[in-house]
Amino acid sequence: KLVSKKWKAKPTSVDLGDNIFIKEGEMAVITGPCSIESEEQIRSVVAHCVENDIKMMRGGVFKPRSSPYAFRGLGLDGLKLWYEIAHEAGIKIVTEVMQTSQIEEMYPYVDVYQVGARNSQNFNLLDELGKVDKAVMIKRGISGTIEELLQSAEYVFSGGNEKLILCERGIRTYERASRNTLDLNAIPILKAKSHLPVIVDPSHGIGIRAYVPQMALAGVMSGADGIIYESHEVPEKAYSDGQQTLDFAQSARLAGWIRESFAMR
Ligand code: PEP
Ligand code: MN
């Protein structure tokens, strides 16, 4: 496989421009709300990122929701607004693309296309993202194996897009005490098998706010090249995933701990 270490030994460095990289040897910190909600909310998160030297912001404008009645996101208009505010502050945008028709319209406003867990094996979407010259982060499928995640990455890489990032975000197991089961085992295994950078998402991984920081640190110590977690000024008021979202004080503390732990690794 092209994404395997056997094919390419040198770790892949994903260059987002402006001296911002997702790569082995650096710790990428990505935070932001589950959903982009309003101009006021975007401004508050961007200010939080700037204050804490966080260079990449996450957020969904097209939201894959389990219920069709839940908030589905602000769509392209929300993305344009977010782009204006974030880019003025020098912050890169990580956001989910749900279908092929969105790739082109999102293109000017995106730095990393996120493929969500539910779309991890949407092979048409992966094929199309293989033709794009912007970074793609593929989340592991809800019940996806490590091998299946690598196969999904192979679709994009073999299509010609080598700016690829893998993300462990927890899998569905028999355990119901946590939202998902964050598979920390996947991190060293993915790092050993592939030259691609690996990011860990403790927010969706455990789904419980109070335990997100320790799982983030466990991810760092497991060898992850970056962390993506949800934050919001008032998590209780978040339109989605508030129960696993950190407030800004918690997020600031965690960002500091992540960097300290990475330096000690
Ligand atoms: C998200 O990042 O908010 C999200 C929907 O993630 P996942 O696809 O991992 O469930
Ligand atoms: Mn979410």
Domains and CATH numbers, the chain: 14-264 (3.20.20.70)
The residue behind tokens 């959903």 is 35
Q: Answer yes or no: is the C-beta of 242 below 6 A from any ligand 1 atom.
A: no
Find the helix or strand (DSSP H, E) in which 156 lies.
Answer: helix 146-158
Is ipTM strictly over 0.95? yes
Q: Answer yes or no: is the C-beta of 139 below 6 A from any ligand 1 atom.
A: yes
pLDDT digits (tens, 9 = 90+) for 175-211: 999 999 999 999 999 999 999 999 999 999 999 999 9
Using the mean position of ligand 2's atoms as its centre, give its distance from the Cα of residue 240 in Å: 6
Output the CA angle 124-190-231, nearest 5 degrees: 75
Mutate to test the pocket of ligand 1, among 62, 201, 227 (most ligand atoms within 8 A of CB): 201
- pTM of the entire predicted model: 0.98
Mutate to test the pocket of ligand 1, among 35, 56, 96 (most ligand atoms within 8 A of CB): 96
pLDDT of residue 182: 98
Side chain identity at 94, as an amino acid letter? Answer: V
Cα–Cα distance for residue pair 162/156, rounded to 1 Å: 7
Q: Which atom of ligand 1 is nearest to the CA of 120?
A: 8
The residue behind tokens 């860990």 is 200
pLDDT of residue 210: 98
Side chain identity at 216, as an amino acid letter? Answer: A
Q: Which residues of 80-90 are buried (b: 16+ CB within 10 A; e: fewer)?
A: ebbbebbeeee
Cα–Cα distance for residue pair 102/122, rounded to 1 Å: 14
pLDDT digits (tens, 9 = 90+) for 132-156: 999 999 999 999 999 999 999 999 9
DSSP letter for 206, please. H
Closest by alpha carbon to 98, among 69, 131, 129, 70?
129
Q: Answer yes or no: is the C-beta of 130 below 6 A from any ligand 1 atom.
A: no
Q: Which residues of 142-177 are buried (b: 16+ CB within 10 A; e: fewer)?
A: eebebeebbbbbbbbbebebbbbbbbbbbbeeeeee
Which residues have CB atoms below 5 A from the ion given as ligand 2?
34, 241
